[in-house]
Amino acid sequence: MEQVKKGRFKYTKEERSWILQDWANSAYSIMITTAVFPLFFKAVAESGGLNEVTSTAYWGYANSIATLIISVLAPVLGALADYKDQRMPMFSWFTIGGILATLAFAFAPGGNWQFLFFFYIISAIGFSGANIFYDGSLVDVTTKTRMHRISAAGFGWGYIGSSIPFIIFIIFQLTGLLPISQVALIKLGFVLTAIWWFAFTIPYWKNVKQKSFIKREPHIVKNSFKRLWETVRGIRQHKQAFLFLLAYFFYIDGVGTIFKMATAIGSDIGLSANDLIVVMLVVQFVAFPFSILYGVLAKRFGAKNMIFVGIITYTFICVYALQLDSLRTFIILALLVGTAQGGIQSLSRSLFGQLIPEGRSNEYFGFYNIFGKFAAVVGPLLVGLIAQATGNSLDGVFALIVLFVIGGILLTFVKIPESISE
């Protein structure tokens, strides 16, 4: 039963700690994946002899390599994490690995884009790998009737949490208060991101426990592969969950690609680094209320219908991307992304959490991540190849429309059990 105090939705300690982990790792998403690091990488790559289109292509390749690796590992990691006392150590290893790789950016030799390329892949694997176990723990901190609200709150508060170190960085960027060079300031931002990520993960380490698990047994690695094979063979038993994953594979590819390539593409149309950073900050504040709103509306209209709203929004974004030619048009596109990004991701996570069998959340979320992450190999690669072939990054963004259309069509065939709908 939902906990309510004076008519207000109240979070438990476990739910708050789980939400705070999104607050912690979202700093990586904005500082490294989206806003600051892509521009830094492109600047270093271009100083190393690459042109702007090729540097954007290599940024796409780095994302594709990282997501390919984590996609291959995801189902095995998820199956292992379903055993008692396995999830938290694995979560910790990937989290610490991602944090240390983020710190490594601060020690990058001048002009060595290959160094950044390598450690970005390591950091992205750490970030994505940790999220397999984080997503799987959603079923342990809340009930099925509260999942949409809690998942949406995670994304929503994550946008606010990530904005704080971002704002600190912007203040020093625009005012020049620190007597250091621009490169030194950017590297300091990477250090701040790593510290933020670590500090706000502590409540998760302390309060989130693995409540749904399989008892430990000998040869857990061998048996994990055996369970994975049994799950694949028994796909018909959970047809709706896997049909949803197929739809998710396509539409989330487009969502992730636009998210990861946004600043690189903005740079290609001539926008300054400061303009792009400020726009990304505005997007964070727009995404916060809309993420929460998606969670609230899902209770009334259903998560599936709200995911359709997000897909329609992104389809329009792909078409509108062809009009990008100024700061004004980029702001409009970025704000549209902000209205849908958190909502479509959070409801996808919680809807899948409602469709999967109890006691096997990490294994199934391993499949959730392999579909989501492996899909993300295709999108950045597609943008990169088309950008090099046509000399125009916007053509690559428009091509993503097919992913949203296919995903939307497949989603129409997903039937939500009546018990969940109620």
Q: Are 328 and 213 in contact (CB under 8 A)?
A: no
Q: What are phi and psi of 9, to 5 degrees?
A: -70, 125
Give the range among 156-170, 216-230, 328-342 with minimum mean pLDDT. 216-230
Q: What is the pLDDT of residue 6?
A: 46
User: Rounded CA gap, 161 and 168, in Å?
Assistant: 12
pLDDT value at 16 more than 70? yes
Q: CB-based contacts of 62: which residues, under 8 Å, 6+ apart?
A: 41, 117, 120, 121, 124
Residue located via tokens 């309510």: 4
Average pLDDT value for residue range 102-125: 91
Model pTM score: 0.72
pLDDT value at 311 more than 90? yes
Give the range among 1-5, 96-100, 158-162 with minimum mean pLDDT. 1-5
Mean pLDDT, rounded, of the chain:
82
User: Rounded CA gap, 5 and 368, in Å?
Assistant: 34
Q: What is the pLDDT of residue 204?
A: 94
pLDDT digits (tens, 9 = 90+) for 33-78: 877 898 899 888 888 778 877 888 888 888 888 878 887 777 777 7
CB-neighbour burial class of residue 402 (10 A; exposed 0-12, middle 13-18, buried 19+): middle
Q: What is the pLDDT of residue 4?
A: 43
pLDDT band at 1 (very low <50, low <70, confident <90, very high): very low
Q: Are 249 and 394 in contact (CB under 8 A)?
A: no
Q: What is the pLDDT of residue 224?
A: 56
Residue located via tokens 């993420």: 291
> Where would I find the H helices in 82-201?
87-104, 113-136, 138-141, 147-175, 182-199
pLDDT value at 167 more than 80? yes
Work out the angle between the directed axes of helices 36-47 and 182-199 (0-180°, nearest 10).
Answer: 140
Q: What is the pLDDT of residue 125?
A: 93
pLDDT digits (tens, 9 = 90+) for 170-180: 888 878 788 88
Which of the pair, 191 or 222, is modelled with greater confidence? 191
In the chain, % of residues over pLDDT 70: 86
pLDDT value at 28 more than 80? yes
Average pLDDT value for residue range 142-150: 83
Give the range among 100-114, 251-265, 306-320 with minimum mean pLDDT. 251-265
pLDDT value at 229 more than 70? no
Q: What is the pLDDT of residue 217?
A: 60
Q: What is the pLDDT of residue 230?
A: 67
Which of the pair, 177 or 405, is modelled with greater confidence? 405
Average pLDDT value for residue range 139-150: 84
Q: What is the pLDDT of residue 360?
A: 65
pLDDT value at 255 more than 60? yes
Return the ∠ at Cα 58 (arms to 121 and 316), rounded to 5°: 100
Q: What is the pLDDT of residue 234?
A: 59
